[in-house]
Structure formats: C-alpha cells, structure tokens
Amino acid sequence: MSSLLSQLRLATLPAHAQALRAEVKAFLAEALEPAPPHVRARSWMGFDAAFSRKLAARGWVGVTLPKPYGGADLDAFSRYVLVEELLAVGAPVSAHWIADRQSGPLIVKFGSDVQKAFFLPRICRGEIFFCIGMSEPNAGSDLASVATRARPNDAGWLLNGQKIWTTNAHHCQYMIALVRSSGDKEDRQRGLSQFIIDLSLPGVTVRPIRDLSGDAHFSEVFFDNVQLGPDALVGTEGSGWQQVNAELAFERSGPERIYSSIVLLESWIALLRDSPDGDLHAGDIGRLACHLATLRNMSITVTARLAAGESPVVEAALIKDLGTSFEQEIAQVIESTMGIGNDNPREAELLRTLAYVSQLAPSYSLRGGTREILRGMIARGLGLR
Amino acid sequence: MFLEALQKVLADHVDSAAIRAIEGGDSGAAIWQPIEEAGFLALMQPESFGGAALALPELFPILECLGRHVLPLPVAQTIVARALVGPQAELPGGMVTLATHWQSLADGGGVAVHVPAGHLAVHVLVADGERLLLLAATHARREPVGDPRSQVVHLRWANPDPVLELPTGGRQLPAFAAAMTAAQLSGGLQRCFDMALEHCNTRVQFGKSIGKFQALQQQLSTMAEHVLAASIAAEAAFRCEAAAPDWLAAAVAKSRASEAVGLVAATAHAVHGAIGMTDEFDLALVTRRLHAWRMQHGAEGYWNREIGRAVLASGKTVFECMRAI
C-alpha cells in the first residue's frame, strides 16, 4: 500500500470539541438574522462585518490564537466544530474568515512580537479583516512566477506590482501578499517573501471585479510605489514560499471544502420531504448524504494530523479535490431533476439558490489550488513524479 | 497481534494459484484449515466459547486484510456469523456464510438469494425478521448466479429445517454483512490501486515509465482519492462500542466502497492495457472480486435509496443525520 494512503486512518472528534456544538447552535439561534437560502448559499463568500463582530464578541474569531492576544486558544478540532456549524446554516463568515483561518495563525507562527501585539487582538475583536494576495495576471497556477516586487529602501520596502482575484480585498484593511523581495524570475520559489500590506496606504488601488453571478467577491489590487515599513515583512525574507506552503494544509482540508453547496442541498431535501416525489429522488439524496458523511470523516482525519502538529499537505489536496467535486455535484444533481415543476414559491426560491450555486460551482475547484494542480501534488505524494 | 498472525497465515497459504483453484471448484480446505486451527474464526466469539471477544474497531483491519488477499472463502462471513450469534449459541465448525434476505414459500420451502460463497459453505446464517436461522447449505439446491467463479448461489430448500433458530440478531445481520463487505472492499481496492501504481512505475513506453505521463498521474490521483474515501467510510462503520455496526454507518460504508469499485477497477484496467485483460494476469482476480463485492449484500444503488429514505423520514437536516456517523 502506498504510504500516503495507509497513513491516513480514521480519527474522531474528541468530546471537548463535540461539547462546543451546543454552544455554537445556541449562539446562532440568537445571533444569526434570518435570510433566504439564496443569501445563505453564499456562506463563506457572504460578507457581513456585523455578524463577524458578534461572533468576535462571543470569543469565536481568532479561535485558535493564544489567549494573551485575545484568542480563544481552541484546538483544531474545536475550530472544526465551530466552522462546520457556521457553514451548515450558511452563516456569512467571509469577513473574518481569512484572518481566522490563515492570517492570524501565520502571524502567530512567523510574526514578530510587535506584529503579534498589533494585529492579533484586533483580529480577535473583529476590527480588522484580511485578504490573501497570491494570484497575479501572469501567476495563476504557476504561483512561483509572481512579479510584484518589494525592494528594500531606507524606509523599509517599496512595493510595486499587481494582485488579482483577491477575495474581499475591497472589504479588508490588510492583505498578506506573496511577492518577490530578492533574486529574479529565474530563482522561482527562492527570493519570495510575505508582507502585511495596509490597504489604506497611498499608492494602493483596489478595484472590485464583478463575478458571473452579479456579486463582486473578488478584486484586483494595484501597488504603485507603496512605501511599506520594515516591519511589514512577515517571517524571514526569502522564505515566503515555505511559509505559504505551511498554510496550505489548513486551507485545503477544512469543512469549507465540503459545505459550499450545503444550503442548496438542505433546501432541496426540505422541499422533497413535503413532496410526493420525494421517494423518486431517495437514491440521489442517499448518495450525496453518503459522500457528505465520508468527506466529513476524511476531513476530521486530516484535522487530527494538523492538531498533532503535522502538515499533511498532500492528504489535504486529496480531500479538497474530492470535497469540491462533491460540492459541484450537488448543483449538477439538483439541476438534473428540474424543469418540469409547478408554481410552488418554495421551488422558485430553490431555483434562485440553484442558479447562484451552479454558477459559482466551477470556482470551488479553482480557488485554493486548481484540481489539476492538486492531482499533480497527489501524484508526487504517490511517488509518480 | 491478530492482524500480524493472520497476515502470516495468508502470506503462507494464499497465492494466485490457490485462488484460481478455488474459483475452479477446489474446496479451499488447504487454506481454511490453518485459518480455523489458528483460531481466527473465533475472533468475535465470546470468551465463554473460547473466542477472543474482539471489539468491532479491532475487527476492521482483520476484514480489510482478508479483502486485500481477495480470498474467495467465507472467512469473514464465518467470523461475523459467530459474532451475530454471540452468547446465544455456539455455531458448528466449518464454513458459514450469510444471507440477508429469506423468503418462505407457500409450499413450505424456502429460498436464500445471492448467497456469497454459498457454493462452498456448509451452513448459512439467514436473517428472518428479528430471528436468525442457521440452515444447512448442504441440504439446499445450489443455483450459481453470475460468474460461477464468484461462488454466489441462490439456495433453495424443499424442507428448510433450521439447525438453529435464535429469537434476535436478524435485524443486525444486513448491516453487519454490509459493513463486513465494505471492509473487504477497502482491502481489495487498496490491492487494486497498488497493482496499478506498480504497473505505472515499471511499464516503460516512449522511453519512460508510463507513470511519468500527466494523463496517468491524474488518473492515479483520482483513483487514490476514491480508495481512501472507501477505506475511511468502511472504517467508520466499525467505530462503535456496540456488538454490531450501526445501520446508517454500515449503509454509508457499503455504498461508498461499492461506488468506488466502478472507477477504481476501470482505471486499473485502463492503466494495465491488454495484459490486464488476460486470464493469466492477476489483475482479474482482484477486479472480479471487487465487482462481486460491490453487489454483495446490496450495491450502492440499494443502499443509497435506503439512506435517502432514512434522511427524508428523519425530519432532520442531512448534516444533522450524517454527522452522527
């Protein structure tokens, strides 16, 4: 058996994490404003700063960050439960999402004491939101060819270049960007660094890009002689690639790679439950339910490895590919049953939700690493490359 | 401890020639005897009957190991049959298999359909509502169904005369049989994947091993994903303190593992090319078994419908239903 597969044995959520579930449900019952399914379907694309602040006030933003900085110091399992309960009801978590999942933990791991003292408490209070600057017009899947450049000068670093497809850049105060700080294009992964960029600085221009559903969830960001201080660098100069890779397992194996279409699925099942046609679709419902249960167990299994301090990047890639396929399939399956219906207003709402999910679904296997790139990583993990 | 011992016995006695011989009509006694003598059949039996009283989570790797060896003898079934009967009774020695559906006929006869290893088994444990019946397969007419090498038969009795009748355990049998098969599939799918990976690393075309081509790398990656999903789903059915697997977890396990067979077996054959289509090459021993196990005790189509009905009837969200597994 390939060691990649044999190492991943089933893990279980520990009792302390399970115990958090009831608290989260109680909080959501109170704090979450009622919203129709087509709105809730946006979930981790749904931006609602007020909701994020309510969650922060409850102590659940920056949940894995240390207590001295205002974090909840919860482990990966507890975060798993919190996040899956939020996603299962389609809570609008987008505002604080990146800071909670990636930027906060990155600053804890690689940031200076000054950076920690400044950013972490503000993240935990829901005062500042982060975006991640990775892609550029000529650096998509080939991320190592980023051309945005930070040149050292007397005041710190002078930043020039452009990022694109940056989720929520137009709503966020800060970006953590991967840029070239030394060497040349030919140096590829070497010479890249991560910087925290205050998006209110002179020379920064953020332009939202309207997506195919009519929303504007991502942006292009231009840097024209943006003067960064010396403390904008996170971690070590030239180690940006390694630092980014350390985040990838967190980014790719979580519940957000399973639940992106869950509001649509729940709406469909709820409609069928009250319909005489329900049993006709029992097989489809059962298959999707079966995949959901299995992906969830796979995701918890990788979470256990993360909780143990490992970085199971290949395993996370594997789960992301399978999970996003499932999320995409939900829209496909439901769409395949539609078109001969009635004037039931609940069906009209379902169709509106379906229209959104079905249009956004292709992005599930683009964002956070394309399907083809992930499969290449898995092949490497299997020893084929 | 038990796993290592079983691995050794299987390594010593099960090879392709032995599997082909059983598929061709051999009794399998040369393999069965050392397994029985080493006590593996009693792994789940209560200690009062001289068993090892293994817990369900510990049974999973044993069944998976049997699956990996694609052994066409009812070892897994006999272990599970003894577990189902539990402290109620002691089963006679020899091969026992399982039957999920029992039909009593108006003329007093009875039928057990799609009985795996029914061609070889001495006894069959049948679910009849709440009851468990142990019947002598040797007294039944055995009608092979499908590929005769798969050992699946319909068993018909003119006068079914149970060797044992037990009041409970019947409701647990279908789920336990499904979970058992899912665990076997987990092992068999891993074996199938290993063969494909090995072939990709050794077969050379255009001057390099075919695994260096992106097209094949993408296929192998996808295959690995489905093998892992099947294994995790199967193992989840054994994560249980009860004596038998939970119905929903078993249903998910069987459905997910069965669904993986389609893609995994097809990809393994695609990767192997013509050599995989020969009777002589071992791949067919694995893929034939995988297809039989996909159907054994219900393929994914059956279980998906049952899961879907359970979700609809629960009145709960699918998330609430499925996070219980």
Query: pLDDT, tens digit, for every residue of B143-180?
Result: 999 998 989 999 999 999 999 999 999 999 999 999 99
Same domain for B269 and B192? yes
Separation of alpha carbons A96 and A48, rounded Å:
9
pLDDT at B193: 98
Same domain, B189 and B154: no
8 A C-beta contact, residue A378 and residue B221: yes
Question: Are B195 and B115 in the same domain?
Answer: no
Q: In Å, how far is B168's CA from the nearest CA of chain A? A: 28
Q: Judge whether residue A117 has pLDDT over 90.
A: yes
Three-state DSSP at B141 gives strand
Round the average pLDDT of chain B to a whole number and report it: 96
Per-residue pLDDT for A361 more than 90?
A: yes
Under a CB-based contact definition with an 8 Å cutoff, are residues B145 and B111 in contact? no
DSSP letter assigned to residue A196: E
Distance from the Cα of B181 to chain A's closest Cα (Å) equals: 16
Do B116 and B177 belong to one domain?
Answer: no
Domain boundaries, chain A: 3-128, 132-238, 253-381
**Does B117 reach chain A within 8 Å, measured CB to CB?**
no
The two structure tokens encoding residue B296: 């054994």
Among A265, A290, A375, A380, most B C-beta atoms within 10 A, so best to mutate, is: A290
User: Cα–Cα distance between B75 and B116 in angstroms, integer?
Assistant: 11
Given B166, B189, B219, the domain boundary residue is: B166
Which has the minimum average pLDDT: A166-180, A235-249, B220-234, B274-288?
A235-249
The average pLDDT across A128-134 equals 97
pLDDT average, residue stretch B263-285: 97
Which chain B residue lies closest to A9 (C-alpha atoms)? B232
Six-digit token pair at A228?
A: 């960064």
d(CA B322, CA B97): 30
Mean pLDDT of A295-322: 93
CATH superfamily of A253-381: Butyryl-CoA Dehydrogenase, subunit A, domain 3 (1.20.140.10)
pLDDT band at A181; cut points 50, 70, 90? very high
Residues B17 and B145 grouped into a single domain: yes
pLDDT at A340 (0 to 100)? 85
B34 lies in the same domain as B145: yes
Q: Which of A88, A272, A286 sits opposite B307 (nearest CB)?
A: A286
CA nearest B229 in A: which residue?
Answer: A294
Number of structural domains in chain B: 2
Q: Looking at this predicted complex, what is its ipTM? A: 0.96
pLDDT class for A9, splitting at 50, 70, 90? confident
Q: Under CATH, to which class is A3-128 assigned?
A: mainly alpha
For A59-73, B37-51, B206-220, which range has the lowest pLDDT when averaged over its residues?
A: B37-51
Instruction: For chain A, give the percent of residues with pLDDT over 70.
Output: 99
Q: For residue range A31-51, what is the model confidence (pLDDT) as tens digits?
A: 999 999 999 999 888 999 999
B217 and B286 belong to one structural domain: yes
Give the pLDDT score at A2. Answer: 63
Q: Which fold has domain A132-238?
A: Butyryl-CoA Dehydrogenase, subunit A; domain 2 (2.40.110)
Closest CA to A72 of A58, A87, A92: A58
**Among B127, B147, B166, where does a domain finish?**
B166
B244 with B99, same domain?
no
Classify the phi-psi angles of A225: left when phi > 0, otherwise alpha if psi is within -120 to 50, otherwise beta: left
Contact A80, A255 (CB under 8 A): yes
Specify whether B70 is located in the same domain as B123. Answer: yes
Q: What is the pLDDT of residue A43?
A: 81
Asked if A262 and B320 touch (Cβ cutoff 8 Å), the reply is no
* Average pLDDT score, chain A: 95
CA-based nearest residue in chain A for residue B199:
A384
Q: Which two tokens stand for residue B325?
A: 């597994």
CB atoms near residue A212 (< 10 Å): 9
Residues in chain B: 325
Binning pLDDT at 50, 70 and 90, where does residue B213 land? very high
Smallest CA–CA distance, residue B304 to chain A, in Å, is 4
Confidence of residue A343 (pLDDT cuts 50, 70, 90): confident
Domain that holds residue B143: 2-166
Quote the pTM value.
0.96
Q: Which of B130, B128, B139, B129 is nearest to B163 (CA)?
A: B139
Element (H, E) at A219: strand A218-228
Which one of B104, B134, B166 terminates a domain?
B166
- Per-residue pLDDT tens digits for A375-384: 999 999 999 9
Q: Are residues B8 and B69 in the same domain?
A: yes
